[in-house]
Amino acid sequence: TLLIDHGALTIGYPELKFSGGRGGKIRVGYAENLFVPGTAKKVNRNDIEGKQFLGVTDVIQTDGSANRTFRPTWLRTFRFIQLDIQTGDEPLTVND
C-alpha cells in the first residue's frame, strides 16, 4: 500500500502507467481528505497521522503486458491517491 499526497486538491483524469504483473491487481483510490478512523469525520488535509483513507476506487486486473496505461473514464477529484498492489505470477513495475 502506497499513499500519495498530491499536495493540492485536483480534478482530472489521472493516469497510471505500468508493465508486467500478470495475475495481479491494482486498486487505485482517490480521496479529497482523510478521516478519523471508524467515522465519517473529515480532518485538516495536512493532518494525516493515524487517519483513514476512504474514497472512490478503481480496480485494475493486470495481464502482464508491457507499457500499459490506465485512465478512468470519468473525472476524479482528489488530493490523496492510494495504491494497493497485489502481485501475481510475475513482477509488476509501476512506471509513472
**Mean pLDDT of successive 10-residue stretches along the chain, which has 96 residues:** 95 96 96 91 87 95 95 96 94 94
Supply the pLDDT for residue 48. 87
Which amino acid is present at 42?
K
Grid coordinates representing 43 are 480532518
CA distance 31 to 59: 15
Neighbours of 10 (CB within 10 A): 14
Instruction: Dihedral sign for Cα 38, 41, 57, 96, please.
Output: negative
Could you identify the residue written with the cell 508486467? 20
Supply the pLDDT for residue 42. 86
Is residue 19 within 8 A of residue 68, CB to CB? The reply is: yes
Supply the pLDDT for residue 43. 83
Task: Please give the distance of CA 83 from its chain centroid, rounded to a whole number.
Answer: 4
